[in-house]
Structure 1
Amino acid sequence: MSSSVAESHKAALLLFSGGQDSATCLAWALDRFERVETVGFSYGQRHVVEMECRIHLREGIKRLNPQWQQRCGEDHVLDLSVLGALSQTALTGQAEKIFEKDGLPNTFVPARNLIFLTFASALAYRRDIRHIIGGMCETDYSGYPDCRDDTIKALQVALNLGMDRRFVVHTPLMWRDKAATWQLADSLGGQPLVELINHESHSCYLGERTHRHEWGYGCGHCPACELRRSGWDRYQALQGAQERRKE
């Protein structure tokens, strides 16, 4: 195996938004790969505050573990403003959060994850990186079809055929609900990581960061906030049960 190929097996590129899921995935990646680069996307999202949060999260996670500090590589930000111009959804505009007739919420940005992973793979190709990591999940999610396991697996095949590479797309949260995601963060970095993600990550679709709840900042009413709150409550209940068993 050539040194370049060997290096590509040790490196990963993480889709890093600044939210709870991608922050947990960053810790997961830093625990497994020798070099982890991150990529964020600016696409005119209504919750653009996440782009600022991702900077603080990256630095905070690096400081939690000397090994993570050493392994955390370059950060990239790609301008995909054309995606926002095309979609005009509640996630990129000022529309109310309502469910459409086909069952999909109008926070669904058509093809977003497909485009993100395609651009990430193009970047990974240039960076000699084989492993691509995303926080997609179909256990606790808003019903977006581009978060489903079948979609991600099909796209991996297309990317490999289209670029003649052997990319591996990892989705460590695919079968975890939000409570299990908090538990994963706990297992990776203990309460310091949980507290960092709680305080610094952003999930709220409205970009609301003026009011902090027990589960973090947000409006408390959008689908992302509802998922995050219910997951935090279940995680806290599980933590309480574990403490009682120790007594």
Structure 2
Amino acid sequence: MTDLTMTNATLTASTDKTQNAVVLLSGGLDSVTCLYWAKSRYASVTALSFNYGQRHNSELIAAKAIAESAGVNHRIIDIDIAQLGGSSLTDHSMIVPDGDADKFPNKKHDEIDNDAIPNTYVPARNTIFLSYALAVAEVTDANHIVIGVSSVDYSGYPDCRPEYIAAFEHMANLATKAGVTGHHLKIQTPLQQLSKAQTIELGLSLGVDYGQTISCYQADSQGHACGVCDSCALRRQGFAQVGIADPTHYQA
């Protein structure tokens, strides 16, 4: 087990049950951890998911069930990023690459090799998702948008870096009625400095049932994970490092 004592103290230091939050909820391990983290901190939480032309809808089915279990409002937005192409998560003619857990431990955002960014990166996806979340935050009087990006165990996507999040938050407070009238909007990234193992430990401490989650890039119609993509590799490694059984349903 890893030591989350200081991390948990930091994450719970500014709980505010008078404010609302919007959480980007994919149905995967990271976003569900963020959902329960936000529930523990804020008065009202709206979960926001996207049907964006991704390879499978198992994650949306999982997201809906998780939101119901958590007792939070849930919205699914239909957008068609797939028509733009450029990612194996939206273009079925492209092959999702196999993952290798050995290459992931403690990889930092400043070590990204642009040529090594996998084809599972969806161009501008986080910018699009955060823009919708920004609109939902305005209409739900939310001061916080929560997203499950990390700079530790991840696949090297440029829109997961702290400098990107800081830039978007700055823009958000220039571009919204809330921002210009003094109601500062904060983009919360509770997993930014956590490894996958630490994320799992945090979620377990908040009561997350990871058996409900689907992280796989190419899960089948029953929600069974492939076990070989980057996301599955990171997930397997995380549970192994925590020392508990992986509750993921893998394809035979």
Unaligned residue ranges in structure 1 (runs of 5+): 1-6, 63-68, 212-216, 238-247
Looking at structure 1, the residues matched to 97 and 59 of structure 2 have their Cα atoms a distance apart, in angstroms, of: 22
Structure 1 position 101, deviation (Å) = 7.5
Tell me the TM-score normalized by structure 1: 0.79
Q: In structure 2, the residue corresponding to 1:10 is in which secondary structure?
A: strand
Looking at structure 2, the residues matched to 10 and 20 of structure 1 have their Cα atoms a distance apart, in angstroms, of: 25
Structure 1 position 8, deviation (Å) = 10
Work out whether 1:51 is the aligned partner of 2:66: no
Work out whether 1:155 is the aligned partner of 2:168: yes
Structure 1 position 88, deviation (Å) = 3.8
Partner of 1:15: 24
Number of residue equivalences: 210
Looking at structure 1, the residues matched to 153 and 187 of structure 2 have their Cα atoms a distance apart, in angstroms, of: 20
Work out whether 1:84 is the aligned partner of 2:82: yes
Task: Give deviations 1:174-208, integer Å, cap 9, x for gaps.
Answer: 1111100110012212xxx3xx21x2111110123
Partner of 1:204: 216
**Change beyond 3 A, Cα 1:101–1:177:** closer
Task: Give deviations 1:144-167, integer Å, cap 9, x for gaps.
Answer: 000111101111001111114121
Spell out the pairing of 1:106-121 with structure 2 (5 A cutoff).
106-121=119-134
Q: Of the candidates 118, 133, 156, which is equivalent to residue 143 of structure 1? A: 156
Q: Of the candidates 23, 28, 35, which is equivalent to residue 26 of structure 1? A: 35
Residues 9 and 129, structure 1, Cα contact 8 Å, conserved in 2 = no
Partner of 1:229: 236
Work out whether 1:181 is the aligned partner of 2:213: no
Looking at structure 1, the residues matched to 29 and 114 of structure 2 have their Cα atoms a distance apart, in angstroms, of: 29
Task: Give deviations 1:59-110, integer Å, cap 9, x for gaps.
Answer: 23x2xxxxxx4xx3x21111111x2211341011221134998211111001
Letter in 2 for 1:22: S
Q: In structure 2, the residue corresponding to 1:117 is in which secondary structure?
A: helix
Partner of 1:93: 91
Structure 1 position 233, deviation (Å) = 0.4
Task: Give deviations 1:112-135, integer Å, cap 9, x for gaps.
Answer: 001110111011112221111111
Letter in 1 for 2:53: G
Unaligned residue ranges in structure 2 (runs of 5+): 1-15, 99-112, 245-252
Partner of 2:188: 170
Looking at structure 2, the residues matched to 26 and 33 of structure 1 have their Cα atoms a distance apart, in angstroms, of: 11
Q: In structure 2, the residue corresponding to 1:184 is in which secondary structure?
A: helix
Letter in 2 for 1:152: I
Greater relative contact order (Cα < 8 A, sep 6+): 2
Q: Which has the higher helix share?
A: 1
Letter in 2 for 1:184: L
Residues 47 and 204, structure 1, Cα contact 8 Å, conserved in 2 = no
Letter in 1 for 2:85: S
Please tell me the root mean square deviation across aligned C-alpha atoms, in Å: 2.3
Letter in 1 for 2:74: D
Structure 1 position 227, deviation (Å) = 0.5
Structure 1 position 27, deviation (Å) = 0.8
Q: In structure 1, the residue corresponding to 2:49 is in which secondary structure?
A: strand
Looking at structure 1, the residues matched to 76 and 153 of structure 2 have their Cα atoms a distance apart, in angstroms, of: 27
Give the share of equivalent positions with the same residue, in percent.
38
Structure 1 position 221, deviation (Å) = 0.6
Q: In structure 1, the residue corresponding to 2:75 is in which secondary structure?
A: strand
